[in-house]
Amino acid sequence: MSTNQLTITFADGSTETVQTTLEDRLAFESALRKNRGWGKLEDNAMKMMPFLAWNAARRTGKTELSWAEFTSGDTAALSVEPPADEAEDADADLEVPGLGKDTPTEPSSTSPSSSRATTAARRGAGAAKPAHD
């Protein structure tokens, strides 16, 4: 399993998994320079993954589509995503032990706001605070 793999779902429903490389990333950077209308790298988060997949697929002979054909019209790819097992692994990295559906939503008895609420309850609702001399 590689973190640089992407799965392309083509318009006909077929899929191809490609291995992206530094060559594909450099090609994306070159495309940004040639197509100034695309904007800066940080403005192209949505375009980068499909471009890397398309470039890797062309480089390895898995598609002959042009960039325009790959991204629009009847031949446009339906999706570009990490392979299913990698997507599951990425989600697992986001899990925090002890948090989830069983995590209590009530304030902890040791939280500062809970301590104030407990103190107020002990004094009685609306009771005056004791005066300090």
Q: What are the residue boundaries of the structural domains of the chain, listed by start?
A: 5-94
User: DSSP code of 98?
Assistant: T
Average pLDDT for runs of 10 along the chain of length 133: 84 96 94 84 83 97 96 95 70 55 58 52 54 56
Query: Phi, psi at residue 76, to the nearest 5°?
Result: -60, 140
8 phi/psi in degrees, rounded to 5 = -100, 130
Q: From CA 42, how far away is CA 33, in angstroms rounded?
A: 13
| pLDDT of the residue at 46 | 83
- DSSP notation for 53-89: HHHHHHHTTS----HHHHHSGGG--SEEE--HHHHHH
pLDDT for the residue 84: 81
Burial (Cβ within 10 Å: 0-12, 13-18, ≥19) of residue 48: middle
pTM of this prediction? 0.60
Given its phi and psi angles, is residue 115 left (phi above 0), alpha (psi -120 to 50 degrees) or beta? alpha
